[in-house]
């Protein structure tokens, strides 16, 4: 299992605009190829101009295959173009994570 944690920073005052743009143009296209994210949310404390999302893959090859299909999708490319034109995002940071051997999803009490 491989998790892809993505953190994006936006210009102050544009976070809600970025999320609205994504919801309108990007979310469905992304879900078509990556499935539902494990988590998608806004930062509550710290860098409040940021949002994060977490995607789950079987392994690196699965991630590569799905992301290639995503970037072959005209709807996704249209969203990316619209986002670039608006310029809301200022930074992106990706972290690939592998679960610890003792962690089992869904076992938290």
φ/ψ of 96, rounded to 5, equals -90, 130
Rounded mean pLDDT for each run of 10 residues along the chain, 109 residues in total: 96 97 96 96 93 96 97 97 96 95 69
Residue 102: predicted pLDDT? 86
Residue 103: predicted pLDDT? 79
Residue 108 lies in a domain: no
Collect all residues with Cβ–Cβ distance below 8 Å to 5 and sequence separation of at least 6: 52, 53, 54, 94, 95, 96, 97
Collect all residues with Cβ–Cβ distance below 8 Å to 46 and sequence separation of at least 6: none
Residue 87 lies in a domain: yes
Q: What is the pTM of this model?
A: 0.86
Number of residues in the chain: 109
Residue 106 lies in a domain: no
E-state strands within the chain: 2-10, 39-42, 50-57, 89-97
Q: For residue 44, what are the domain limits?
A: 2-97
Residue 104: predicted pLDDT? 74
Find the CATH number of the domain harbouring 74.
3.30.70.100
The encoded tokens of residue 91 equal 């930074």
């Amino acid at each position: 299992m491989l998790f892809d944690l993505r953190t994006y920073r936006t210009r102050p005052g544009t976070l809600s605009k970025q999320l609205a743009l994504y919801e309108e143009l990007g979310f469905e296209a992304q879900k078509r190829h990556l499935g539902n994210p494990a988590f998608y949310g806004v930062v509550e404390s710290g860098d409040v101009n940021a949002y994060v999302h977490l995607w789950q893959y079987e392994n690196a090859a699965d991630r590569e295959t799905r992301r290639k299909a995503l970037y072959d999708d005209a709807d996704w490319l249209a969203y990316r173009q619209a986002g670039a034109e608006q310029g809301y995002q200022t930074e992106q940071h990706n972290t690939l994570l592998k679960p610890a051997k003792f962690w089992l999803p869904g076992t938290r009490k």
